[in-house]
Amino acid sequence: MNRHADTVRAILAAGNVVLGPMAGITEAPFRAICKRMGASLTYTEMISTKGLHYNPDSRITKKLLTLSPLETPCAIQIFGNEPRVMADQAAGLVERHGDDVALIDINMGCPVTKVTSKGEGSALMRTPDLAAQIVSQMVDACSIPVTVKIRSGWNADEINAVDFARAMEVAGAAAIAVHGRTRAQFYRGKADWDVIAAVKAAVSVPVIGSGDVFSASDAVAMLERTGVDAVMIARGAQGNPWIFRQARALIDRGEEIAPPTSAERIAMVREHAAALIEFGGERAFIRMRKHVAWYMTGMPGATHLRVRANKTSSYAELDELLAEYDSYQEQRLERQSKKSDSDVG
C-alpha cells in the first residue's frame, strides 16, 4: 500500500482540475490567478536538480522556487536523471518550503531535445529501471508524496505508458500524470485518451489525465471517458484562466458559465502584467507579451491589438494601449446600439 497515495487522492477529491506545468509560462503570478479561478492544485515550472545541486543560489532557480501564498500548498516539479542527486535535492526542497509544498513531481514527460538528449524528461521512459531507482530513492528521502508525469511513450513503436506506470507505482510513486502523446509527437496531433484510460485501469494510485483539454466540456469528457481522478489543464489555460472556474462549475454542478467578456479579459491582462512585473521586475514584461496575445484571442480587433501589444516594452505602454482599446470598445458598442435603434425605427 502506497503511504502517500491517499494524501494525493484527498487533494484531487477536493477539486479534480489542476494546472499543469509549462516552462516560461506558469510562473508564480499566473499560478496564483489560476488557483483563484478554481485550479485545485498548481505545479511550478520544471526545475533542474543539477541546477539546484551546483548553483542553488542562482537568480533563475530562486524565481522558479518562489511560491505564491495564494497557491500553497502547490506541487514542485523537478527533472534530472541522477537518483542520489534528485533524492537529496527533493528532500532539501521539502525541508526549506515545509507545508507550502503538497508534493514533489518528477518530470518524465518533457519532449524538448535539450532535456531528452541528456537522458532526462521523457527519455527516462526508455530507461525504466533508472526511472524506478529515481522514484524509489526520492520516496525514501521525502516526507511528502512523490509523483511522476509521463507520456504515452517515446514514439508510435514504443507505447509503454501502462508498463512504465506500473513500475513507477511499485517504486513508490503516489500518483501518475499521463499526457496522451508520445515524445515524437511533441504537441502535434491528437492526444490518445485511451492510453490514459489504460493507465488508470492498470494502477491503484491516483491518475491525472493530460492532453487536449481546452474547454470545460473537454474536462468532463476526459473524466467520463478515462475514469481519471483529475484532469490537468496546460495549454488550455493560456490566456484563459477562467477555464478552471468553468470546468469546476460544469463538473460539480452541471452549470455552464459564460466565457469572460472583453472587459474582463482586459482587466485580467492588467492584473497579470502588474503581478508579473512585481514578481520579476520590468524585464519580466517581455515575457508578458505572449500572455497578452493569448488573452486577446477572439476579441474584436484582436489581430491589430496583438500586433501593437507585441511592440510594447513596458507596463505603461501596454496600459496606454489598453485604454485606447477600452475607448474603441465603447465607440463600437455605441455604433451597434445606434444601428439597432435605427433598424427598429
Active site residues: 110
Phi/psi of residue 17, each to 5°?
A: -130, 120
Compute the C-alpha angle 177/179/185, nearest 5°: 155
Give the residue among 21, 60, 57, 183 at the shortest CA–CA distance from 116. Answer: 183
Tell the residue number behind the cell numbers 482586459, with chain if given: 266
Are 26 and 44 a contacting pair, CB within 8 Å? yes
Give the residue among 178, 176, 81, 183 at the shortest CA–CA distance from 133. Answer: 81
The C-alpha atoms of residue 205 and residue 170 are separated, in whole angstroms, by: 10
Strand order in the sheet with 101-108: 17-19, 230-233, 207-210, 176-182, 146-153, 101-108, 74-79, 47-48
The C-alpha atoms of residue 103 and residue 145 are separated, in whole angstroms, by: 5
Hey, what amino acid is at 24? G
Residue 185 three-state SS = coil
Phi/psi of residue 181, each to 5°?
A: -125, 155
C-alpha cell at 48: 533542474
Q: How far is CA 57 from CA 19, 31, 60, 224, in A?
A: 27, 23, 9, 45
The C-alpha atoms of residue 206 and residue 102 are separated, in whole angstroms, by: 15
Tell how far CA 141 is from the center of its chain.
26
Give the residue among 212, 220, 215, 165 at the shortest CA–CA distance from 193. Answer: 212
The C-alpha atoms of residue 1 and residue 5 are separated, in whole angstroms, by: 8
Residue 108 three-state SS = strand
Are 176 and 148 a contacting pair, CB within 8 Å? yes
